[in-house]
Every structure is written in structure tokens, then in C-alpha cells.
Amino acid sequence: MRVATDNLDLVKGILEPILSSGDIRPLLDRLADDVVIRAGAPEGGPDTYEGTGKSAVLDYFESLGELVTFWRVKYAWSGTQVVVHCEESFTVQPIGLAAHSEFALLFDVEDGLITRLLVVDDPAALAGPSDGWQDGQGEGPGRITAVAT
């Protein structure tokens, strides 16, 4: 059985090459065949993307294009879940408008494979009003209890 830090190392090992090269193959290689992806606001809504399988994950990331010019990430983990809080800066072309956004990636990992990937547009929604995952406070089901940068 993998321990939580193994899952953290797995996710870091996937994201670091993606951040440096933009190549998402390391992610695709570690996805379960029946991986579930969901992207959008935590409450769902008309802009929510949902799909199953590696092709759905590839389609989602290809739809983003090459906007990102800088990412800063912070990791948190507990059991089979790893959360990555991301800040990105990018330039909207062709008008050259600089922009900044934050989002979270929530990975469920089982037996060394990612079985679920959530892309959350509002990372604060992952935490209750006083026990945010970003600072690692709190314990109990559904709460992230350890943080790394």
C-alpha cells in the first residue's frame, strides 16, 4: 500500500516536467484507463467539463491552448488525495493583456495511478470557512492535513 507521501511524490513527479516543458505525457502515463475528470466551479454549472478516460483528460488540456507563462504551485496531501494550489500568470493574445488566476488540482491516487482529477476554479471552496487546506490546519475526513511547496 502506498503512503500519502508516495502519492505526493508521484504528483510532483508528474507536474514538474509539465511545468517546465508543457508536455502532458507524464500525466497521461499515470492515469487509470477509467480516470474521471471534472473541471469548473465546485458547485458545477454550465461551464463544467466532465469526462471519463485518458482521452477526456487530453481533450481538456488541449482545449486550454498555450496560455500559461508562469505557474507557482503549493502542494497539500492526505491519504489518497493530493491537492495542488496553482497560481498562473499569462498573456491573452493578440491584445497582449496580462492576467492572473488561481485554481486547484485535486488528484485521487490509487495503486500509483490517478483515478480522478478535479480542476477547481475557486480553490477557497475546497475548505470550510476556518480550516483551509492551504495552511494544513485541521484533521478529519475530507481535510488536507499536510502542506509542501
Q: What is the pTM of this model?
A: 0.76
Domain span at 11: 4-148
Q: Give me the number of domains the chain comprises.
A: 1
1-24 mean pLDDT: 83
Higher-pLDDT residue of 12, 93: 12
CATH code of residue 52: 3.10.450.50
Q: Each residue of 20-63: pLDDT tens digit?
A: 887 889 999 999 999 999 998 655 556 788 999 999 999 998 88
> Residue 71 has what pLDDT?
74
109-134 mean pLDDT: 74
The answer to whether the CB of 138 falls within 8 A of the CB of 145 is yes
What is the radius of gyration, based on Cα positions, of the chain?
15
- What is the rounded distance in angstroms from the CA atom of residue 54 to the CA atom of residue 106? 16
